């Protein structure tokens, strides 16, 4: 945050955004769209010099993506457990 202008800035730039290709997973495409929306909110916020502009939308985007990542992690853990159980049963 810039204390003189009271504007929050993202720590990542457009060059840091992951490239999105047609073969990418739906999750990766959704994350890229969310990243673009967050950048647009940041640009409007800076232009309007309104540090609160789009704050609730920004928080919803971030929390939605974080929760989805948590669910993906749980799914992967379950798959690993099932694979380990299946490998153990075959012995």
Q: Is residue 30 part of a domain?
A: yes
Q: For the chain, 91 residues long, give each residue's pLDDT as a single digit of tens.
A: 444 444 444 444 545 555 555 456 777 788 888 889 899 999 999 999 999 999 999 999 999 888 988 888 888 889 999 999 887 766 5
Q: Is residue 85 part of a domain?
A: yes
Q: Is residue 36 part of a domain?
A: yes
Counting the structural domains of the chain, the total is 1
What's the whole-model pTM score? 0.56
Q: Is residue 68 part of a domain?
A: yes
Dist. CA 62–CA 9, nearest whole Å: 15
Q: Is residue 6 part of a domain?
A: no
**How deeply is 26 buried, as exposed, middle or buried, from its count of CB atoms within 10 A (0-12, 13-18, 19+)?**
exposed
Q: Is residue 77 part of a domain?
A: yes
Instruction: Give the structural domain span for 51.
Output: 14-89
Structural tokens at position 40: 């647009």
Q: Is residue 1 part of a domain?
A: no
Q: Identify whether the C-beta of residue 50 lies closer than 8 Å to the C-beta of residue 8.
A: no
Helix axes 26-48, 55-89, angle to 10 degrees: 160
């Amino acid at each position: 945050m810039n204390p003189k202008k009271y504007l929050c800035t993202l720590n990542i730039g457009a060059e840091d955004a992951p490239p999105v290709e047609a073969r990418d997973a739906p999750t990766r495409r959704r994350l890229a769209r969310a990243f673009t929306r967050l950048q647009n909110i940041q640009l409007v916020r800076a232009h309007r010099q309104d540090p609160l502009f789009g704050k609730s939308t920004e928080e919803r985007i971030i929390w939605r993506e974080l929760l989805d990542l948590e669910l993906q992690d749980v799914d992967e853990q379950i798959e690993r457990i099932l694979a380990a159980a299946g490998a153990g049963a075959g012995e």
